[in-house]
Chain A
Amino acid sequence: MNEWLYVLLFMVVGAIIPIGAIAAGFIFGPKKPNPVKRETYECGIEPVGEAWVQFKAQYYIFALVFLVFDVEAVFLFPWAVKLGALGIYAVVEGIIFVSILVVGLIYAWRKGMLEWV
């Protein structure tokens, strides 16, 4: 049997439990909505404007840097697993690999993109 089937079971059970709990709340809780209740919460005062707000470009940069390092990790995990059996050259390869990416990180940092301005 494929071991991932068990993981799928975990997923199913992991979904059932919260759904059950929320359903319980739905069944036992009162349901008396009114316009004021359904307003969005803004510290008790009337909501102002749309929920949309101007976002900082930095959000994109963080996700971007994360994406890059994420993909990097994808390459490095097999490397880390096999490292014990490989020689020092593999370590050097890894060091080169990471250093190249760190250059990008430094670039983004020098550009002031990693700061929350």
Chain B
Amino acid sequence: MTTEQIIFLIVAGATLASGLLVVTSRNLIHAALWLVATLFGVAIVYTLLNAGFMAVVQVVVYIGAIAILFIFAVMLTRKDMRDSGAQLNSNWWAGALMAVLTFGGLFAMLRTWGGMSKTAAEIPAGFDQIAELGAQLTSPEAYVLPFEVASVLLLAAMVGAVYLAFNKK
């Protein structure tokens, strides 16, 4: 087992553990903080995949913004700091069953899929991922439309959220 594999196993284990804590924590703030830990773990997984940009973006977007948004939303929708009562609904067993089935199904599919043994090619020397990303995002031959549409999506989200949450009517 190589060093990288050991690191991956540790990170993946910790990430999944904190993921479990996200969905089981009683205290929502704790759940949100565990989410931060999970997302940080995912960021480390990105670095293992040589996708440094994705890792940084993960931290910037998820930890820097989405986690904060979650915490603010929790503060806005909670009367008392301590959570009481069950955090799982009455159908939680069905949900758990579905989750296990999903994992089982995906795992079974992965086992039968032929592409698993694929090995990663070395990233060519001097290949600038970010520049290539920028080129593809702006090229009319590639992803310029998704690029602009993303902006529209964000606009819609912003306008929609502002309108929904705080319409004075």
Contacts and interface: CB of A to CB of B under 8 A. Distances in A.
Q: Within 8 Å by CB, do A and B touch in the complex?
A: yes
Contacts of A103: 155
Q: Secondary structure at chain B's binding surface: helix, strand, loop or mixed? A: helix
A77 B147 contact: no
B108 to A, nearest CB: 32
Nearest to B4: A2
B48 interface: yes
B9 interface: no
A104 B154 contact: yes
A4 B52 contact: yes
B75 A78 contact: no
A52 B155 CA distance: 33
Contacts, number: 141
Contacts of B133: 78, 82
Contacts of B147: 75, 93, 97
Interface residues of B, number: 50
B47 A4 contact: yes
21 contacts: A2-B4, A4-B52, A7-B47, A8-B44, A52-B80, A59-B72, A59-B76, A63-B68, A71-B65, A81-B128, A82-B130, A82-B131, A82-B134, A90-B138, A94-B138, A97-B151, A98-B151, A100-B148, A100-B154, A101-B155, A105-B158
